[in-house]
């Protein structure tokens, strides 16, 4: 449970911490998009240097980013192995039945691995340097034009902010339930895969009941305080676009040009 980075924010005073959350959110999605422009080792080296520079600017330990990769390591390796053994083309180094090890397969596997790691690093950087509620405010601000088509912008932002706010609470609740079940003799790590899946049920049922009770209490508290939706409400956290946010997009444009050249 402590390996999960979702919803975790590390306070700091770096340039990335002080950036407008809207700029960070848009830049992160843009970065994930331009990763697919890379088609050569120099291009991936440029992306890696750029990402490591951002990590250094954030003043956050590299271990936090490695923790973000660790829970997805098996998924990454599985995807890489599929690319290696099922992509054909180039020199064939080994073949057995429908499995083959080719030059293009190895290259695609290495590229997929780099893409996964870079995307996880960038998304982890976004969550570690941005408070969850500021992230929700940024999404609300970005989605405001959709009000023209009567999209429930305020409600979506409220649901997102509540969900992000209660991620750490649900983690703590899960830990308490697991400790209580262990005290009753439940072992979550032994037996076959089916037995381990069955042992999750004593965790899920109390967790669902606790979540629904908490949601009901929260709804009652919001109604008691007269919450009527976001229309006309003032903001405690006012988002301000500054020069450093514009410079971030200039850096992204330079990175895009570099990737196109190296491609």
pLDDT band at 23 (very low <50, low <70, confident <90, very high): very high
Q: What is the structure's pLDDT at 3?
A: 53
By the 8 A CB rule, do 57 and 15 touch?
yes
Please state, as a whole number, how many other Cβ atoms lie within 10 Å of the Cβ of residue 124: 21
Q: What is d(CA 229, CA 222) in angstroms, rounded to the nearest whole number? A: 10
pLDDT in tens, 223-235: 898 877 666 677 7
Mean pLDDT (the chain) is 82
- Secondary structure class of 92 (helix, strand, coil): strand
Q: Is the pLDDT of residue 1 over 60?
A: no
The average pLDDT across 197-225 equals 86
State how far the Cα of 96 lies from the Cα of 73, in Å rounded to an integer: 26
Tens digits of per-residue pLDDT, 143-182?
888 888 888 888 888 888 788 778 778 888 888 888 888 8
Please tell me which of 101-110, 112-121, 169-178 the model is most confident about, judged by mean pLDDT: 112-121
Distances (CA, A) of 228 to 52, 160, 173, 223, 225: 45, 17, 30, 8, 9
């Amino acid at each position: 449970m402590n390996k999960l980075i979702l919803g975790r924010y590390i306070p700091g005073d770096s340039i990335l911490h002080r950036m407008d959350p809207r700029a960070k959110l848009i830049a992160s999605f843009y970065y994930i998009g331009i990763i697919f422009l890379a088609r050569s080792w120099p291009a991936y080296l440029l992306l890696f240097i750029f990402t490591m520079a951002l990590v250094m600017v954030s003043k956050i330990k590299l271990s936090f980013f490695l923790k973000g990769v660790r829970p997805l390591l098996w998924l990454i390796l599985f995807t890489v192995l599929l690319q290696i053994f099922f992509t054909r083309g180039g020199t064939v180094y080994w073949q057995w039945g429908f499995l083959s090890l080719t030059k293009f397969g190895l290259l695609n596997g290495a590229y997929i691995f780099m893409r996964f790691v870079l995307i996880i690093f960038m998304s982890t950087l976004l969550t570690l340097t941005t408070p969850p509620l500021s992230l929700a405010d940024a999404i609300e601000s970005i989605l405001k034009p959709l009000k023209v088509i009567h999209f429930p912008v305020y409600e979506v932002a409220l649901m997102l902010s509540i969900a992000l706010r209660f991620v750490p609470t649900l983690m703590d609740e899960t830990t308490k339930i697991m400790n209580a079940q262990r005290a009753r003799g439940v072992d979550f790590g032994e037996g076959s895969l089916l037995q381990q899946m069955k042992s999750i049920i004593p965790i899920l049922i109390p967790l669902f009941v606790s979540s629904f009770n908490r949601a009901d209490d929260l709804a009652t508290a919001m109604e008691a305080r007269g919450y009527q939706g976001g229309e006309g409400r003032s903001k405690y956290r006012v988002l301000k676009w500054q020069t450093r946010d514009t410079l971030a997009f200039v850096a992204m444009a330079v990175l895009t040009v570099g990737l196109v050249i190296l491609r």
